[in-house]
Each structure stands twice: as C-alpha cells, then as structure tokens.
Amino acid sequence: MKPYLSIVVSARNSDAENLLIFKSFMRGIYHHSRGKEVWIELIIVEWNPLSNQPSLQASLPPPAKEDQVIVRFFQVSQSLHQRYKHSATVDFFPMIAKNVGIRRAKGEFVLCTAPNVLFSAAFFQQIAKKTLDVNSLYSAACCEVPNDAVRIEDPQEQFTFCKKNKQNVQNQKEVYRNAEKIPSIFYGFPKLMRFLNATLEIPRYLRPQGFAQKHINALNFSTCDAFTMMKKTAWLRIQGYLELELYQHHVAKMALIAAYAVGLEQKMLPSSIPIYTLSPEKNGKSLKSPEAMILEMKQQPYLHWDWIEEGSESLFKEQRTYHYNAENWGLGGVDLDEFVLGGF
C-alpha cells in the first residue's frame, strides 16, 4: 500500500538530549497514526554520524503492529559528507539531507519537518481525510512549548501539557534581519541590537517595493524550517531545497519562494490544527542567544537575505524555480543503505 504522506527529517546522532527529543517526536507520530485509513511513511536521514555515538536506527523505537507507520532510515556517511565544500567547518547540511529523503519518498505528499516538532491529533485527522490540495504549499504557525514536554510519554497527556503551556506563536518577522550590517561589538546588548536593526529597516519601508519584494511579502516564512508540506511532484519540480554547501540559513525560505514562483498557493494550517515546537531550552536556560547564533553564522559561509530578494525577481517573472541543483540532487546517484522498521 502506498503511503499518503511521507514525513522527512534529518539529524545527527549527537547526544542523549537530542535522542530523547527524537523519541518523543516518533512516539507522537506512532500514536496519532493508529486507527487511521492512511499509512504514514517516516524517513529519517542521518547525516555525517558521530563515530562515538550509536546510530539513530539502533537507538530509536520501532512502530508497534497497530501503528500505521513505516520507518525508513538512510545514513549519509562521513566520507560522503566530506565531498561537500566547507564540510570541515559545517558538520551538518540539514536541507541537503532532507533532499535525500524527498528524493526517495514514496508518499503522495511530502512534509519536511524537524524532530523538535510535536503534532496534534487534529493534524493526523486532517491527513486521514486525504483532502490535501495538489496545487498548494502548506505552512504552519507553530506554537513554542517548554522542552519538558518531551519527558511526558503519554501522547494525550503531552498534548494537554502543550495546550496549557504554549508560550508564543512563532511569526514571520526575523529577530535581526540586518545582522550582517551591525558590528559584532554590539551583539552582547539585545536592546541596542533591536534598536539598530529597526533603524536599518527604515529605508526598506520607505523605498517603493520592488517586483520581487511584493511577492516575497505575500509569503509567510514563519516556521518553514519546521513545517513545509506539498505534493511529491511539486518537490521534484522545484528540485527540493537548494544544495548550497554552506550554513543552511534561509535555504528553507528559498524553497517557499521557488514553490510560489512556479504557481503553488501557500495555505496556512488553521489554529484548530495546532503544531508545537520545543523551546530551545535546557534546564530553564536558553541554549543559544540570537547574538551567539549571529556570531556562529559569521564564522561560516552563508547567504545574505538581500541577495535572495534580488535573485528571486526572475523566478517570479518567469514562473520558474532556481536552476541550480544537479540532476542527481539528493544524492540521487548514490546507492545508500536503507534500514526499514514496520511495514504494510
């Protein structure tokens, strides 16, 4: 039986905390799949695995007999990772890894997501109806919840906890869109950073909107790293994510731009179908501040947002995708080992 939805995630086998998050992610999918008349395919792409840690396929739980889920693992070895430029400084290319899954997905629709996402029963009830629009690009405004949610093993109790403890709805506005224009000496002062960023935004709002910017402003990029879903043939049409061998900032947004340019209509999931993401906290303290993330980005090659705005104009005018990825994108020419859990 062909699965209706393929869920694609990419990860590394980094530490026990991430493994706990991954188990919670899978446990929810297994639970919500039960009793549905559709099969779900979960594709996990393990990229550049650490040699001192057990593999994900050896560490994660299999589906039970009553679960309508088949799990497929693909591992991209360190030697394959080292083929990519900047592999010495960037140890994980999450979007290229997701392309591995997109390319090999068997579902009619493909959802690219992340292990720190928790789905509601309402989402799987919607999927079970098999009414997704083939001409739509689906996005979601996710609610952040405390990281403690992963320690609640019962999915129904976990959902109740998320509903009561949602912290905010992640929105489209980036924290510091003009970060590359601000000297790093100011990064330790968040209030000053917000002021400088807002000041640099003024010319953007005063000047007339260009052709590309009008289209870009029509899109909601809120949590495209965590939730982007469309028909498998649409993913193939845009050739998945751009396989840029650099820090993956903005790459997920470029996939939305490409899909919109070729004619897909963006649809946001309604608030009645909540999607939750774990707050990036451990022991009550933020793992990384925005300033720390900016400094990290500046030490690695990455794309400036202004370049993306300028480069997207021809896409909208010609209604086409980026002509960048090779024909064998997603390691299409590589015979990767596959490990399967569950089955039809």
Is it the case that residue 173 has pLDDT exceeding 50?
no
What is the per-residue pLDDT for 238?
96
Is it the case that residue 170 has pLDDT exceeding 80?
no
Looking at per-residue pLDDT, the higher value among 291 and 325 belongs to 325
Nearest to 308 by CA among 261, 240, 239: 261
Instruction: Please tell me the distance from the alpha carbon of residue 238 to that of residue 260, in angstroms, as a whole number.
Output: 10
Tokens 């400088």 correspond to 196
pLDDT average, residue stretch 308-312? 83
Highest mean pLDDT among 186-195, 259-268, 303-312: 259-268
The separation between the first and the last C-alpha atoms of the chain, rounded to the nearest angstrom, is 6
pLDDT average, residue stretch 335-339? 93
pLDDT average, residue stretch 254-263? 95
Instruction: Please tell me the distance from the alpha carbon of residue 182 to that of residue 264, in angstroms, as a whole number.
Output: 36
Instruction: Please tell me the distance from the alpha carbon of residue 142 to that of residue 144, in angstroms, as a whole number.
Output: 7
Asked if residue 92 lies in contact with residue 246, where contact means CB atoms within 8 angstroms, the answer is: no
What is the per-residue pLDDT for 90?
85
Q: Which CATH code, of 3.90.550.10, 2.60.120.10, 1.10.3720.10, 3.30.70.270, is assigned to 5-341?
A: 3.90.550.10
Instruction: Please tell me the distance from the alpha carbon of residue 224 to that of residue 44, in angstroms, as a whole number.
Output: 18
Instruction: Please tell me the distance from the alpha carbon of residue 6 to that of residue 341, in angstroms, as a whole number.
Output: 14
pTM for this entry: 0.85
pLDDT digits (tens, 9 = 90+) for 10-42: 999 888 888 999 999 999 999 999 999 899 999
pLDDT digits (tens, 9 = 90+) for 286-309: 455 555 655 555 555 667 777 788
Asked if residue 69 lies in contact with residue 193, where contact means CB atoms within 8 angstroms, the answer is: no
Is it the case that residue 172 has pLDDT exceeding 50?
no
